[in-house]
A and B are shown apart, each in its own frame.
Chain A
Amino acid sequence: MRALMALSTAFTCGLALFLLIYVLAKGLPNITWNLLSTKPSYLTGNIGILPDILNTVYIILATLVIVIPLGAGAAVYLTEYAQNKKLVSVIEYAAETLSGIPSILYGLIGMLFFCQFFGLSTSLLAGALTLVIMNLPTVMRTTQESLKTVPQSYREGAFGLGAGKWRVIRTVVLPGCIDGVITGCILSVGRILGESAALLFTAGFAHALNGFFDGLGSAGASLTVALYIYVKEQGEFQVGFAIAAILMLLTLLVDLLAALTRRYFQKRRSQ
């Protein structure tokens, strides 16, 4: 039994190491300044992923800007206002259902609802809105957890001084949920970085170079979608591995940030 356990653990570890080293070894040599700083052109045969990098950044920004107020607000409602137990369990069940739905279904719904029903056509904004629904449960859960750690006595103290409910929330509760919101953001960024199926039909796969607001209105590939297109449709494995290496490094960075913030907030709370 002991041997089996050690073997399984070694296998898991080895797998992660193999993937990391393999992708970095194949990808890093292919990352050139030209690749990072230009856009692709059919005329010159040049391949550059600057538009895809920018699109990814735009989608992350747009998603976070929308999802944070929604998710944090929902969490505040659940922990501060909701009295009806049934309603709470319905909302929580809905959140769990949302986190179980596969991204390809989100892509489909996003295409039907945002692109066609709302007439946004295939655009980064439609992709970002789709990702908002996907990441809502994450932000909601992390905010809820941090709100639970705000001591009840703080709220009671504020009420005792004569503050109204909204004032208590503004001055006592909301500052307490910052760590939850930040954790939620980091987790969401990780998820958005890796998302491809939900974006394929909502954000499309154009490689045009745009500013933020023009970009939101037009179609564009994120890094993951670009990887898929380059590898599967065009057979450009070198570009694919370069993007994969970038994604891998970003994933590591997000993991590291998540661990660091968790440690930071734990320390601050225990003081």
Chain B
Amino acid sequence: MKSKKQFVERLVHGVFLLLGLITVGCVLLITIYLVISGLPAIREIGLVDFLFGKTWKSTAAEPSFGILPFILTSIYSTAGAILLGVPIGFFTAVYLSKLAPAAVKTAVSSAVSLLAGIPSVVYGLVGMLVLVPGIRNVFDVPDGASMLAATIVLAVMILPSIIKVSITSLDAVPKEYEDASLALGATPVETYFRVSVPAAKSGIAAAVVLGVGRAIGEAMAVMMVSGNAPNMPSLFESVRFLTTAVASEMSYSRGLQRQALFSIALVLFLFIMLINAALNFFLKRDKEKG
């Protein structure tokens, strides 16, 4: 009787251990699959030609597979989205965390979660019908589907993550810091920007890094507004991202072209792993301080 009970206990322990290890298994699976399927094309094309080649003609008679335009477009657009989105997100977060009356805070918070919940295809749809014609008219360019449109859409899409993560770390700043500053005669606004924000800076850095990750990984919304031609990046030019390069040719790709798409995915994955490492670094530092 006793041994049967022990057996059951051990069995259950084993089952739960297995369930616990599933996430690790998934990460390994994803990494191994991307590396195995991504390497052959890189080997065939040559790492330098692949990463720094400026032309992408995957279906031409003499195909060339250079993904520099995609890499640069992804980096420039993400940087642009951060430049536009972070200041707005940052000021909103400070206001909501420190100054806003409770009613305003609840109202704006639900607006932020709405922004976070809107599907990316809806952002793409609105971008197609509002931003793209808007850019065409305002800047007088032949087609508004451009890197600028994609950058603006990305800036809007990263806004909620930046606001949420920043608020969490601003809320965690010890009240004593602020009280001390206020007691010394600093105004509330001085206190929040000179005391609270520096105290929460790791968390805010984490928010920015999270935004970078979101922006670089977004596919559907930018696919709908960026025009999708493999040009070198330029603000009013139709461009293609690392993500959209994979998405747009996957359904009809063959042979080396298909393998090259997997290699693009591998490059994107490496970017994401770098960003994840940075995110973890900042989050850990934030936790240690708090």
Contact = CB atoms under 8 A, between A and B. Distances in A.
Contact of B114 (A8, A9, A98, A251): A251
Given A109-B29, A196-B120, A255-B110, A104 B219 contact: yes
B121 A101 contact: no
A106 to B, nearest CB: 8
Interface of B: 5, 8-9, 12-13, 15-17, 19-24, 26-27, 29-30, 33-34, 37, 87-92, 94-96, 99-100, 104, 107-108, 110-115, 117-122, 124-126, 128-130, 156, 159, 163, 189, 193, 213, 216-220, 223-224, 243, 246-247, 250-251, 262, 265, 268-269, 272-273, 275-276, 279-280
Contact of A91 (B23, B92, B94, B224): B23
Q: Which of B19, B34, B268 has the most CB of A within 10 A?
A: B19
A94 B23 contact: yes
Contact of B125 (A78, A190, A231): A231
A169 B33 CA distance: 36
B170 to A, nearest CB: 12
Chain A interface size range:
35 or more
A244 interface: yes
Interface string A198-224: 001100000000000000000000001
B224 to A, nearest CB: 6
Contacts of B90: 8
A235 B120 CA distance: 18
A77 B189 contact: no
A43 interface: no
Given A15-B156, A104-B243, A244 B16 contact: no
Contacts of B20: 73-74, 77-78, 81-82, 87, 91
12 contacts: A6-B95, A19-B114, A19-B115, A73-B19, A81-B20, A90-B24, A97-B27, A100-B213, A109-B33, A133-B30, A164-B9, A166-B12
A64 to B, nearest CB: 16
Contact of A248 (B33, B118, B219, B251): B118
A201 B250 contact: yes
Interface of A: 1-2, 4-9, 11-13, 15-17, 19-20, 22-23, 69-70, 73-74, 76-78, 80-82, 87, 90-91, 93-98, 100-105, 107-109, 111-113, 133, 136-137, 140, 164-166, 169, 190, 193-197, 200-201, 224-225, 227-228, 231-232, 237, 240-241, 244, 247-248, 251-252, 254-255, 258-259
B37 A112 contact: yes
Given A136-B22, A251-B117, A96 B276 contact: yes
Given A12-B111, A105-B34, A113-B33, A23 B126 contact: yes
Given A70-B19, A166-B12, A255 B91 contact: no
Contacts of A111: 250
A1 B243 contact: no
B17 A81 contact: yes
Given A81-B17, A104-B265, 5 more contacts: A9-B91, A12-B88, A16-B115, A23-B125, A77-B19
* B interface majority secondary structure: helix
Contacts of A200: 247
Nearest to B280: A96
B224 A5 contact: no
A100 B280 CA distance: 11
B224 A4 contact: no
Contact of B216 (A98, A102, A107): A102
A60 to B, nearest CB: 14
Nearest to B123: A19
